[in-house]
Amino acid sequence: MLKVEDIKQARGRIRDSILVTPCARSETFSEMTGNDVFLKLENLQRTGSYKERGALNRILTLTEDERRRGLIAASAGNHAQAVSYHATRRGIPAEICMPLATPLNKVMATRRYGAEVLLHGANYDEAFDEALRRSKENNLTLIHPFDDLAVIAGQGSLGIELFEQQPDIEAVVTAIGGGGLISGVACVLKHARPSIRVIGVQTARLASMKEAVEHGKPVTLPVATTLADGIAVRRAGELTLPLVQKYVDEIVTVEEEEIASAILLLLEREKILAEGAGAVPLAALLNGKTKLSGKRVVLIVSGGNLDVTILSRIIERGLVQDGRMIRLRIHLPDYPGALHRLTGVLTEHRTNIVATAYDRAYYGVNFGDTAIDLTMETRGAEHVAVLLKALTEAGYLFERIT
C-alpha cells in the first residue's frame, strides 16, 4: 500500500524538474456553483499534463542497468509525451506504443520529445499488449501509466502542492482514468486532514473505476469513444483500486455534452484550454453531480492537450448544449419572397444564420413547398424559446434537429 512518505520522497526527487502550477481562484465558477472554486492548472506543465510527475519519479528510480537497456510505455497521449520528454532529457532511450487512431498532434509531440513511436492496435489496450510484448522480448523497462507505485507517488506530489497552496481546502474534484492521480492525491490529503472530501469524475461512457468499486474488483468495460480520451480506460488498476476504496469519498459520472460545455466555459470564461479529461471536474460541479455547496473546492485541470482538429467540433457541441447554436428544419411555400419573409422574422430576433440547406424531395415536403435547414447562432436557451415562439406565431411548421 502506498505511504505518504513515498509521496514526500517523490516530491523531493522531481521538484526541480516539475512546474509548481498555479491554483487560482475562479470568480466565474465560484458564482455559478455557490462554492469558493480554485483551479489547479496542470495543463501548464511542459508536456501539457500532470503525467510528468509520475513518469519522472519512475524514471528517477531506475537502476543504471535499466537506464542503459531503455524504456517502453503505452499511451494515447499524455503519458507518452511525459515519458518521452523526461527520458530523452536524461539520455535514456524510450519506445512508446500508441494506438493507430491517436491524434496526429500527440504522435508528433511524442516524437519531437525524442522517443521512438510505434503505432499499433485499435485502442489503448492493444497498444499496451504490444508494449508488454516488446518489453519482454527486448528486455525493456515498462513504465505503466497508472498501475505502478512509483508513478502513483509522483502524481501524489500534486496533493502536497495543493495543501501548501490552499491549506483551508474542503474538497478536491479530479478526473479518474486508471486511478493513478486520484490515488496519490487522496492519500496525501486524507492523511493531512481526513475531513477533506475527495471526489472522482469519470465519463459515463467508460466509468471503469466506478464499476470496479461497485463490484469490489476491476471490471473490463466494452470499447467506447469519448471526448475525455485521457481517461478512456476500460479497466481500473489493480494497485489503484484499493487506494481509491480507502481514500476516495465518491465517484460520479458526466455525459459527453456536459464535458463539451465545460471545455467551452473554461476557454471562454477563464481563457484556459483544457482537454476533455481536464474539464470533467468542472462538468461535474456545474451539473450538480457532486452536491457541494458553500465549500472551498479545488478542481484539478489535469491536462490541456486538446487536438486542434477536433477543437471546433467540441466548441460546436458545447454551443449546442448551451443553447447558443440551433438547427431547425422549416417548411416554406416555394415561391419568390418566402425566404425573405422568414429571414425577416429571424432578423427581428437578432438571430445569425451560419449554414443553410434546401430540399424539395425529402422530409415529407408537399408539392409546391420546400424545406430549409437553418443552423443559427443564438444567445442561449431563453433566446431560443423566444425565437421558436415567434416562428410559431408567424405560422411556420418546423422541427428542431438534434
In order of 93, 98, 142, 242, the CA distances from 80 in angstroms are 13, 8, 12, 25
Domain at 4-50+148-319: CATH code? 3.40.50.1100
Provide the percentage of residues in the chain whose pLDDT is more than 90.
81
pLDDT score for 363 = 59
For residues 187-210, give the mean pLDDT: 97
For residue 295, the one-letter residue type is K
Structure pTM?
Answer: 0.88
pLDDT band at 105 (very low <50, low <70, confident <90, very high): confident
* Domain covering 52-142, topology: Rossmann fold (3.40.50)
pLDDT score for 345 = 94
Helix, strand, coil percentages, rounded to 5, for the chain: 45, 20, 35
What is the tens place of the pLDDT at every residue in 56-69?
A: 999 999 999 999 99
The residue among 12 and 309 whose pLDDT is bigger is 12
What backbone torsions phi and psi does residue 187 show, to the nearest 5 degrees?
Answer: -60, -45
Whether residue 25 is predicted with pLDDT greater than 90 in this model: the reply is yes
What is the tens place of the pLDDT at every residue in 287-327?
A: 999 989 999 999 999 999 988 877 888 788 778 877 889 99
183 is catalytic: no
pLDDT band at 119 (very low <50, low <70, confident <90, very high): very high
Task: Point out the catalytic residue in the list 40, 49, 51, 84.
Answer: 51
pLDDT score for 314 = 79
pLDDT score for 188 = 97
Q: How far is CA 71 from the centre of its chain?
A: 27
Q: Is 52-142's fold the same as 323-400's?
A: no
Cα separation, 387 vs 393, whole angstroms: 10
Whether residue 366 is predicted with pLDDT greater than 70 in this model: the reply is no
What is the tens place of the pLDDT at every residue in 38-49?
A: 999 999 999 999
Task: Point out the catalytic residue in the list 49, 84, 135, 302.
Answer: 302
For residue 279, the one-letter residue type is A
* Domain covering 323-400, topology: Alpha-Beta Plaits (3.30.70)
For the chain, what are the domain ranges?
A: 4-50+148-319, 52-142, 323-400
302 is catalytic: yes
pLDDT score for 203 = 97
In SS3 terms, 242-289 reads as HHHHHHCCEEEEECHHHHHHHHHHHHHHHCCCCCHHHHHHHHHHHCCC
**By mean pLDDT, which of 53-57, 58-62, 143-147, 357-361 is the weakest?**
357-361
Whether residue 377 is predicted with pLDDT greater than 90 in this model: the reply is yes
* Mean pLDDT, rounded, of the chain: 93
For residues 357-373, give the mean pLDDT: 71
Beta carbons of 144 and 151 less than 8 angstroms apart: yes
